[in-house]
Amino acid sequence: MSIDSNKKPLCVAVLLSGNGSNLQAIIDAISHDRLNISIELVVSNKLDSYGIERAKRHGLNSKVIERQLFSSKQDFEQSLSQLLNSYDLDLIVLAGFMLVLSKEFVTAFSGKIINIHPSLLPKYKGLDTYQKALSAGDEYHGTTVHLVTEELDGGPIISQTKVLIEPHDTVQSLTQKTQNIEHKLYPLVLGWLANGRISINNNTVFFDNKPVSQTGIPNEL
């Protein structure tokens, strides 16, 4: 992927709660000059998240807003939106952000929030997707990048990638395999957003100006 150095970078905030391996994959893609993206801010709702450590190490702006310091979800989200609105952001990237955002919050940032979810959506929304796929005896698991709408893990699919489930797989091994793919898929999708191949209008995703099918943009990963 080449970058047009005259083009303004896509300005994003990354929201996370934990390890931040997806943040790391995005940082690595930017630093290898593959992504015309500027991470303006990294926000965590957890004080001890390793993702914040990663942000600091790379000299990125970071901020912790702990949910439990607010008496209501509404107050927490108000503080979060005030912070986000103080930046000129094109996109909010959820990367392991473990709080469910309210309809009001999502509506306020409509068409500007994306998420990565470890399943082949619409299968297995919510938690424990690896165990669910193994218990169901599925042939494939996978990961999905989607637009965030008020329905949990239910927004339009931008792109998804399959992972073969092998007989010896456990939750741990399947997690590892799926996350290895996530670390390629999220930068790929962000690259498409940064170079204008993906556009979003009225909660509809377009790729090269054509509406994307229900299963998202095919990829070669």
Q: Which stretches of the chain bind ligand GRF, using CB under 6 A?
A: 16, 18-22, 51, 95-96, 116-118, 143, 179, 182
Q: At closest approach, how far in Å is the CB of 7 from ligand GRF?
A: 27
Establish how many alpha carbons lie within 13 A of residue 198's alpha carbon, considering only the half-sphere containing its beta carbon: 29
Q: At closest approach, how far in Å is the CB of 210 from ligand GRF?
A: 27
Q: At closest approach, how far in Å is the CB of 4 from ligand GRF?
A: 28
Considering beta carbons, is residue 71 or 219 the nearer one to ligand GRF?
219
Q: At closest approach, how far in Å is the CB of 8 from ligand GRF?
A: 26
Which CA distances in Å does 149 have to 112, 114, 115, 157?
10, 9, 10, 11
Beta bridge partners of 143: 161
DSSP 51-82: HHHHHHHTT--EEE--GGGSSSHHHHHHHHHH
Q: At closest approach, how far in Å is the CB of 196 from ligand GRF?
A: 25
User: Which of the residues are catalytic?
Assistant: 117
CB atoms within 10 A of CB 36: 21
CA dihedral 209, 214, 217, 219 (to 10 degrees): -170
Considering beta carbons, is residue 3 or 134 the nearer one to ligand GRF?
134
Which CA distances in Å does 57 have to 51, 60, 79, 131, 181?
10, 8, 25, 33, 24
* 64 CB-contact burial (10 Å; exposed 0-12 / middle 13-18 / buried 19+): middle
Q: Is 3 helix (H, G, I), strand (E, B) or coil?
A: coil
CB atoms within 10 A of CB 22: 24
Considering beta carbons, is residue 40 or 182 the nearer one to ligand GRF?
182
Considering beta carbons, is residue 74 or 152 the nearer one to ligand GRF?
152
Considering beta carbons, is residue 46 or 88 the nearer one to ligand GRF?
46
Which position's Cβ is nearest ligand GRF? Answer: 96
